[in-house]
């Protein structure tokens, strides 16, 4: 069975999480790090690096266990942000699919990211061919 890692990229409100869940398999995103034991989202910008390390660690753990399908949905506006996942995929023999999810449904970002921050993400979003 082929092992796959699907990376869903896009700005907040694009539908990354919703789309990623339709793919099945193990699903991770850095925002999950900020959900407390009661299910409340408590974002803390000072812990964003910890959140991404946690996300990468969860993916690596699942790769060690050879889960056949892993999906990661984060903004990934810059190519270097995906690099740790590409390296893990190479190390553990996973084929990588990278998808850009666009907001064509007038979706709202559920984490209330300010519009000026979203515009900054749009402005720096790298498309790699």
Superfamily classification of domain 4-124: P-loop containing nucleotide triphosphate hydrolases (3.40.50.300)
pTM of the model: 0.86
Mean pLDDT of 61-74: 98
Q: Which whole number is the average pLDDT over 58-69?
A: 98
With 0-12 CB in 10 A as exposed, 13-18 as middle and 19+ as buried, what is 94? Answer: buried
Sign of CA dihedral 18, 99, 45, 119: negative
pLDDT at 6 over 70: yes
Q: Which residue has the tokens 């869940």?
A: 21
Q: Domain ranges for the chain, please list them.
A: 4-124
Q: Region 67-75: what's the mean pLDDT?
A: 97
Mean pLDDT rounded to a whole number for the chain: 92
**Quick check: 128 pLDDT over 80?**
no
Average pLDDT over residues 50-73: 98
User: Would you state the pLDDT for residue 129?
Assistant: 67
């Amino acid at each position: 069975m082929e092992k796959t890692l699907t990376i869903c990229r896009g700005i907040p409100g694009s539908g990354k999480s919703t789309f990623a869940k339709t793919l099945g398999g193990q699903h991770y995103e850095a925002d999950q790090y900020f959900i407390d034991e009661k299910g409340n989202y408590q974002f803390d910008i000072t812990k964003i690096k910890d959140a991404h390390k946690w996300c990468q660690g969860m993916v690596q753990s699942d790769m060690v266990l050879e889960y056949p399908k892993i999906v990661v949905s984060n903004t990934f506006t810059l190519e270097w942000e995906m690099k740790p996942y590409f390296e893990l995929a190479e190390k553990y023999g996973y084929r990588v699919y990278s998808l850009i999810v666009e907001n064509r449904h007038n979706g709202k970002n559920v984490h209330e990211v300010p519009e000026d921050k979203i515009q900054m993400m749009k402005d720096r979003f790298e498309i790699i061919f």
